[in-house]
């Protein structure tokens, strides 16, 4: 549950965001607040804009309209003489450091060891001393059950293990919010459970997360709120129990019948 009261400021505010690719709408007018400690699961059919939404939050795609705020700070733009001006790469990179994203394809650096994959961002982007970063990383690897694999390379690990390393890496920079884009969709079914267990643990510790997933049992059990998207819009949102047992739209009803 959210650790703060109703009146508290959201960690993340997505306000009327629009995004198109080559004139084709990917996000029509998306608004979403995420409060401290909240787990928001984003559901929706393929092509509904789920990845685009969290890529825009992570400043990997530029928005065409609306605004995104992290802890009240406008992301990607600054206000200048009444107008908005896009920030340069370096300032965007500084803003991005306060978030972490976990991708479907893990995206570990293949020629770095597991340990170095986890310590690289804390050392380079956050100026943590090496010994410090390594001690932290080993503790995180322990939590995801992979401490003894610290000196292996990603290719020596299963997909599920690589994804758990990617999660440890994401947490190592102590982000304000963690963004997951279908973290278990590329995994063999028998490897999904361990990854979801790690995510469940993070949620229980109060990590603020947005999770795009088709894992309905996970959504039901872990989400404080579910958001159902279709065609670039939020069609329904609410507590999972409400959405799953009492969908208000035919579109969500039919989506659920296909995914349960």
Binding site for ligand ADP (CB under 6 A): 21, 26, 44, 46-52
- The smaller minimum CB distance to ligand ADP, of residues 56 and 137, is found at 56
Least gap, CB of 127 to ligand ADP (angstroms): 33
CA 144/CA 102 separation, integer angstroms: 14
Q: Which does 163 bind (CB under 5 to 8 A by kind): Mg ion, ligand ADP, none?
A: none
CA atoms within 13 A on the CB side of 23: 0
Per CB under 5 A, the segment of 14-22, 50-58, 163-171, 252-260 that binds Mg ion is 50-58
Task: Indicate whether 52 belongs to the interface with Mg ion (CB under 5 A).
Answer: no
Q: Which does 47 bind (CB under 5 to 8 A by kind): ligand ADP, Mg ion, none?
A: ligand ADP
DSSP state letter for 228: E
Task: Indicate whether 184 belongs to the interface with Mg ion (CB under 5 A).
Answer: no
Alpha helices in the chain (DSSP H): 50-57, 89-96, 114-124, 130-143, 159-172, 189-204, 216-222, 240-245, 250-259
Burial of 15 (0-12, 13-18, 19+ CB in 10 A): middle
- The smaller minimum CB distance to ligand ADP, of residues 51 and 162, is found at 51
- The smaller minimum CB distance to ligand ADP, of residues 2 and 186, is found at 186
Task: Indicate whether 51 belongs to the interface with Mg ion (CB under 5 A).
Answer: yes
> What would you report as the CA-atom Rg of the chain, rounded to the nearest whole angstrom?
18
- The smaller minimum CB distance to ligand ADP, of residues 46 and 245, is found at 46
Contact assessment for residue 152 and residue 162, using Cβ atoms and an 8 Å cutoff = no
- The smaller minimum CB distance to Mg ion, of residues 51 and 163, is found at 51
- Token code pair at residue 162: 């690589």
Least gap, CB of 166 to ligand ADP (angstroms): 18
| Selection from 139, 146, 178, 179 nearest residue 162 by Cα | 146
Q: Which does 161 bind (CB under 5 to 8 A by kind): ligand ADP, Mg ion, none?
A: none
Binding positions for Mg ion, rule: CB under 5 A: 51
């Amino acid at each position: 549950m959210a650790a703060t009261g109703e009146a508290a400021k959201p960690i993340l505010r997505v306000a009327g965001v629009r995004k198109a690719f080559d004139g084709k709408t990917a996000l029509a007018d998306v608004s979403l607040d995420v409060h401290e400690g909240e787990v928001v699961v984003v559901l929706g059919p393929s092509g509904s804009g789920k990845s685009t939404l969290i890529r825009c939050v992570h400043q990997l795609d530029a928005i065409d309209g609306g605004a995104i705020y992290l802890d009240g700070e406008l992301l990607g733009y600054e206000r200048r003489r009444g107008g908005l001006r896009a920030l340069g790469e370096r300032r965007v990179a500084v803003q991005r450091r306060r978030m972490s994203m976990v991708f479907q394809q893990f995206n570990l650096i293949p020629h770095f060891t597991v340990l170095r994959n986890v310590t690289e961002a804390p050392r380079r982007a956050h100026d943590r001393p090496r010994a410090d970063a390594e001690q932290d990383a080993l503790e995180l690897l322990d939590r995801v059950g992979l401490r003894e694999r610290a000196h292996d390379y990603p290719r020596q690990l299963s997909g599920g293990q690589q994804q758990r390393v990617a999660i440890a890496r994401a947490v190592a920079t102590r982000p304000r919010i963690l963004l997951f884009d279908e973290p278990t969709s590329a995994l063999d079914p028998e490897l999904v459970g361990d990854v979801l267990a790690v995510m469940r643990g993070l949620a229980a510790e109060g990590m603020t997360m947005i999770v795009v997933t088709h894992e309905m049992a996970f959504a039901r059990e872990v989400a404080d709120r579910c958001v159902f998207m279709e065609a670039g819009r939020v069609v329904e949102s609410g507590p999972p129990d409400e959405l799953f047992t009492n969908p208000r739209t035919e579109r969500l009803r039919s989506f659920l019948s296909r995914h349960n």
